[in-house]
Structure 1
C-alpha cells in the first residue's frame, strides 16, 4: 500500500460515522520520502552517481496523459500569485495495489493468481504554495459508474454502472483508475503514484519494523494475521497483514480497514522520525531502495529528481496544515455490503478541492 508516502494518518476510534468523516492533522509522508531520497544521494559520496542510477532505474511509469488525452477535467487556472512551481496546486492519486505478479508478491498474496487489485486509494491535494494539504480516502467498496477506459492492450472497456470502485484498476490499470476518479470527482489528477504490497513489506523491514496498538483481537484468515489486542512490534509481512485486514475486525467493512491503515501509517511516520537514518547510510539506502523499487508513477514523476523535488517542496508544510478525511459514504440501497457517496457532502468535498 502506498500509505507510507501519503501522510494519510487520520486516527480511527472505531465509530463508523467518525471513521467515514473523521480527520486528523499530521506531517505528510511525501515530504519524508522525498527528503530521505535526497539524503541518501548526499551521503553517497563518490558512489552517488551509481546510487542515483540504481534508485532512478527502480521506478516504473505509465504515460497517463497520452492515454487519456483531452477527455478529462480541465486544469484550474493558476492564481495571480502562483507564478512558478511549487506554487501551483497539485492533485495526486495514490493507490496501493495487491499485485499478484512476481514470486514475492505471490508469496505475500497467498496465491498464484495473476492481475492486481487496488485496495487503497487516496486523493492527495497540495494547495498552491504548499501551505496546506488535504488527503481524501476513497473506500474500495464504493459503488460508482466506471467510465469507458483505454485498455492496456488495445481497445476500450465499456461503461459500467453500479460497480465497485476498485474494479477500475482491475479492468484498465492506472489509466482507468485515474479516469474513474476524475469522472466521479470532477477533479483533474496531475500525478499518479502506486506501490505494491511487496514493496510496502520491504519498507517496513528496512525500517526495522513498526509498533502499533490494536484495541481488539484480530483473526483474519484472508490476510493471514492473528493478533491479540495490545501493543505489537510488527515486521513487514505482519504490517502488510494489518493493512489488508478487514474481515477480522468490526463489521468487516472496508471502513474498518481504512482505520487500521491510517493507524499503521502513523506508526511508520513515527518510526521514520525516531530512526537516525542520516547516521546510518546502509539503512537509509535500504529505505530509499524499498520505496523506489515498488513505485509506479505517471511520466511526470518517474525520475528520482522529480520525486525528490516534490518531497523537498513539502519541506515547510506545517504539520497542522495537513487535513485527512474519508469520502462521505452511506450504505448502498442495493447491497448492505457496499457503500455509495453520501450526497451532497461528497460533492461538496470535491468542489472544495476543485
Structure 2
C-alpha cells in the first residue's frame, strides 16, 4: 500500500507552505470525490424509487381500446376523470367475500375546472338504468348494445374500457383520465394518511359491510372507512342513494385530512402514500407514471372541502322496477351541459331528483362537531 506521507515529503528547496498546499488540494479532491459519489448514489436511489413506483401502477391504453368514436375533448383546460371503486374479490380482496366477476361498486366523475381551483364530483348510482353501447369482452367477442342495463354492469361486461365508453355515452363528455381502486387499496391509502375523522349522531351498524360505529366522533382507519363507504343497510332505506350521501361526506372529510397533515411538506408521508397509492391503482396509460400522478396531485392540492361541489346524477325511481333508478330529464342534460361548458352546476339541474329527497337514517359529518373537542 502506498504511503500517503510520501506526498508530504519536501523536495530540496521546497517550503512548508508548498506541503500544506498539496495536503489541502488532496483533501479537496477527496471531498469532491465523496460528494460526487453521494450525489450519484442519491440520484440512483431516486431513479430506483421512480422505477419501483412506476412499476407498481397498472396502466390501460383506453384510447386505443375505444378508438376515435368518442366525444370531442373540451377546448378549455378543465379535466374530467372517471373514478371507479371496484368490488373485485381477486387477490387480497377475497377477505370481503366471494363473488364472481367484478363491478363498479362506486362511480364518480370528477370535473376539475380550468383554473384548477374547484371541482364538481358527480356520483352515478350503480343501479341506474342506461343504454350500454357495444363493448369488447376480454375473450375477444363483442357484447351488443343493451338498453335498460344497470350502469355498473358495463365494467363486468368489458372492464374499464366499457365503463369509460358507457360513461361517455351517458354524459357526452370525454373522460381525460381513468382511475380505479379496489377495496384493499382504499384501506391502505386511508391508513397511510393516518385515518379520517367523522362524527355520527347515531349508532351505525351493518354486518354486511362490517360497519360498527357508536354515535360520536371517530378517526376511522382503513377498514372502518371502507365499511362506512360501502354500507347500504345502516342508513336510509337500504338503497344506493343514502350510501352515496355518506360517500360525499367521507370525501369532504378526506379532503380535510389531506390538508391538515401538510402532505406536500412531509417527505416521509408523501413517500408512504406514493407507495400505497401506486400499488393500489389502475389508471389509463397516460396517467400511469409517478410524474403524471404527481402532476395531477399538484393540480388538486389547492381544492379543499369548500371548493368541492358534490352531487348525485339527477334520477327518478324506475316505474317498472322500484329497485332501479333512471336519469331524470331535463335535469341530467343540464348537468352534463354545465360540465361541458366548465360552468357551475345550476340549481335547475338538481330539482326534483330522488337523490336529493333521499334522507340518510343517521347524520354523519366530517371531523369533530362544532363546539366539540
Which TM-score bucket, shorter chain as reference?
A: 0.7 to 0.9
The one of 94, 116, 133 equivalent to 1:106 is 94
SS where residue 128 of structure 1 aligns?
A: coil
SS where residue 300 of structure 1 aligns?
A: helix
Q: Give the aligned partner of residue 21 of structure 1.
A: none
Q: Give the aligned partner of residue 251 of structure 1.
A: 237
**1:135 correspondence with 2:121:** yes
Give the 3 Å change call, closer, same or farther, for CA 234–152 of structure 1 in structure 2: same
Task: Give, in angstroms, the shift of residue 340 of structure 1.
Answer: 0.9
The one of 208, 218, 228 equivalent to 2:194 is 208
Per-residue CA deviation, residues 213-257 of structure 1 (Å, 9 max, x unaligned), is 123322212102122222222221111111100122111111111
Alignment check: 8 A CA contact 1:134 1:323 kept: yes
Task: Report the Cα distance in structure 2 between the residues aligned to 1:284 and 1:325, rounded to whole angstroms.
Answer: 30
Per-residue CA deviation, residues 99-130 of structure 1 (Å, 9 max, x unaligned), is 2110x2111x2x23342221111111222342
The one of 81, 99, 115 equivalent to 2:101 is 115
**1:47 correspondence with 2:36:** no
Q: Which runs of 5+ in 2 are unaligned?
A: 1-41, 341-373
Task: Give, in angstroms, the shift of residue 303 of structure 1.
Answer: 0.8
Alignment check: 8 A CA contact 1:182 1:189 kept: yes
Q: Give the aligned partner of residue 65 of structure 1.
A: 63
| Equivalent residue runs for 1:1-354 within 5 Å | 47-76=45-74, 78=75, 88-102=77-91, 104-107=92-95, 109=96, 111-275=97-261, 277=263, 281-315=267-301, 320-354=306-340
Of structures 1 and 2, the larger Rg is shown by: 2
The aligned length equals: 299
Task: Report the Cα distance in structure 2 between the residues aligned to 1:260 and 1:318, rounded to whole angstroms.
Answer: 18
Per-residue CA deviation, residues 161-183 of structure 1 (Å, 9 max, x unaligned), is 21211111111110010011111
Alignment check: 8 A CA contact 1:212 1:232 kept: yes
Report the TM-score when normalising by structure 1.
0.78
SS where residue 286 of structure 2 aligns?
A: coil
Q: Give the aligned partner of residue 31 of structure 1.
A: none
Give the 3 Å change call, closer, same or farther, for CA 69–287 of structure 1 in structure 2: same
Worse-matched range after superposition: 280-289 or 309-318: 309-318
SS where residue 237 of structure 2 aligns?
A: coil
SS where residue 140 of structure 2 aligns?
A: coil
Alignment check: 8 A CA contact 2:256 2:305 kept: no
Alignment check: 8 A CA contact 2:259 2:304 kept: no
Task: Give, in angstroms, the shift of residue 145 of structure 1.
Answer: 1.1
Q: Which runs of 5+ in 1 are unaligned?
A: 1-43, 80-87
Task: Report the Cα distance in structure 1 between the residues aligned to 2:255 and 2:302, rounded to whole angstroms.
Answer: 17
Give the 3 Å change call, closer, same or farther, for CA 224–265 of structure 1 in structure 2: same
Give the 3 Å change call, closer, same or farther, for CA 45–187 of structure 1 in structure 2: same
Structure 1 segments (4+ residues) deviating >6 Å: none
